[in-house]
Structure 1
């Protein structure tokens, strides 16, 4: 037996074995880092955040949402399993101030990559009750800016395409940092999404430029940012909470506003009761229609995603306001 010929062979076999062991260890490490294969495990609080995560993350993320379709986000209660699952996420995207249960659970989750969308743009206060300042565009006294952790600020930033685009850009940058290996793809996806949202903004600017009236009535005061952006006045029957009951004084005021401003339509939404809107419409001889706050997509939604439903909202506003 020639021993000198065996030594290189054994050395080579050992090197291959060590290499395979190292490769297996790396694979195990990767699996530990990303529980969905090589995808980033993303948890979104509700639909507007889910849409951003899916559009920007693309094939590199696995997105779950805490708010199931058809559930009113403001009243969400998390199950113990959902709360526990937050701790296992690689990345959490939420909007502070709209879902108290989510805010509390995230504080305790210990997740490294947590993004609060309210920090990615400016929040404002929008008055909704009798005697308060309402959402008139271009007036300094109506658009007070706030950071995301201040109370009283309106959280419905996704209904303003310009603000939503700002949030999208911030989400894209945060995903690049959380998963730098796919940063180039996140950047491209962000640019594509912002392009679509910018086109939506242009459609609103053009479509609402000339109308017979600038005032619209809605049961849920979710459209303050949209109203301010396009020079409209939102008159909410109730407040930012869609389940809040309006006061008798507010109902009387809405009657007077409708008559004075030649309002044609009372808007309601898909995820909350339409009883108040229909009662007011019947008493004033107005029509009813849907203006979707896009807090969730269901079979009743007039579109399959954010862009489609926002364009449906534009069409409804154009009809109600008498766009020319």
Structure 2
């Protein structure tokens, strides 16, 4: 049944192209404000000529799943963004772990020149989408595949809820053997990973559009320098911090970030967990740990209602910790993009939060 859905989507893609082809070339959209998974670029794909011998400029069709990918592509395209239709599928705050593509999403992927996705367990639907794609020459970037050995397995630290109980130890062990390790998908929260991934994106763009290869390389160099500068700022701030431990009353998607700078952490749930209700045991452990380490803050991610963090604080001795929020970029909306939100601006804000949490 699932495969039939993708076949149907592919047929719809061809039908849509035939029926709407005459008007598609004249459609224009904004590159800075994605809306409901729609394509967006600064200029339409209409051919601009100066004389009869002019060659039309290649118009790129690029689809990304999450915000960091989208923003990296936008930075590398630079002034050539007007020659691209750039789509961010998760553009209205939908969480990566719960996202399911629509037929329209599959249609967009089917005909694009470049498709970028995370590649973890949450993207299990991608293989079927690519198998049914109309454009068999598209470039595909799987973030986890690019990072290879730098990808980390999901980690359960002391005090953390281990997830669903299977009740039978043998059954649980058997299931783990069948499924294999679960990898932490939140690779974009490392500035060092971002640099590697941006290079992979640049390589793909230069293959698709060699006429602008020099521009893409230049933009990559400029952006990489900004990533390096922010990485150095993180290292400096953490080296001089009086504390080296974070405590999250939430799930924890920042494994790559803390590992880059040698920080320790405690949290209620792992980064990919779907759990929202922590046990009394977990709450008590985190409250006691906050007291033991004399922590001044309990952290959450951007989509949290903060109730768990509040409960942890109420169970500490002093009951006076601050609640701080680190942005994992999993809830970025079209409005945020239109307002100028970027990968670097979010990571800069996260640095300010870390400085306060570790003081």
- Decide: shared fold, TM above 0.5: yes
Alpha-carbon distance in structure 2 between the residues aligned to 1:105 and 1:321: 45
SS at match of 1:208: helix
**Does the 8 Å CA contact 1:223/1:234 hold for their aligned counterparts?**
no
Separation in 1, partners of 2:221, 2:237 = 24
CA shift for structure 1 position 283 = 2.6
Residue 199 of structure 1: which of 200, 213, 229 is its match?
229
2:202 paired residue number: 172
Query: Deviation string for 1:250-275 (max 9, x for gaps)?
Result: 32322232122222211112234432
Q: Distance in 2 between matches of 1:150 and 1:61?
A: 39
Matches within 5 A, 1:116-195: 116-121=142-147, 122-130=150-158, 151-195=181-225
- When Rg is computed on C-alpha atoms for both structures, the one with the higher figure is 1
Partner of 1:220: 251
User: How many pairs are equivalent?
Assistant: 274
Q: Distance in 1 between matches of 2:322 and 2:159?
A: 26
Deviation for aligned residue 1:313: 0.8
* Change beyond 3 A, Cα 1:109–1:206: farther
Report how far residue 293 of structure 1 moved. Answer: 0.6
1: CA distance between counterparts of 2:65 and 2:180? 19
Q: Whole-Å Cα distance in 1 between the matches of residues 296 and 336 of structure 2?
A: 23
* TM-score, with structure 2 as normaliser: 0.69
| Match 2:330 to one of 273, 295, 300 | 295
Distance 2:116 2:154 in 1: 24
- Alignment partner, residue 294 of structure 2: 262
Asked whether 1:238 is paired with 2:269, we answer yes
In structure 2, stretches of 5+ residues that fail to align are 1-21, 26-43, 47-57, 161-178
Q: 1:116 to 1:85 in 2, by over 3 A?
A: same
SS in 1 for 2:252: coil
Task: Specify which of 68, 74, 83 is matched with residue 48 of structure 1.
Answer: 68
- Secondary structure at 1:310 match in 2: helix
- Checking the alignment, whether the CA contact within 8 Å between 1:125 and 1:154 is kept in structure 2 is yes
CA deviation after TM superposition for structure 1 residue 91, in Å: 0.9
1:193-234 CA distances to partner (integer Å, 9 max, x unpaired)?
A: 111111110110111112221111121211111111112112
Structure 1: stretches of 5+ with no match in the other structure: 1-27, 133-148
1:283 aligns with 2:309: no
The SS at the match of 1:297 is: coil
- Given the superposition, is the C-alpha separation of residues 80 and 155 from structure 1 closer, same or farther in structure 2, using an over 3 Å criterion? same
Distance 1:109 1:249, change over 3 A: farther
The 3 A distance-change label for structure 1 pair 156 and 162 is same
What is the SS of the residue equivalent to 1:99? helix
Structure 1's 199 and 88: CA in aligned 2 closer, same or farther, altered over 3 A?
same
CA displacement at 1:287 relative to structure 2: 1.5
SS at match of 2:92: coil
SS at match of 2:216: helix
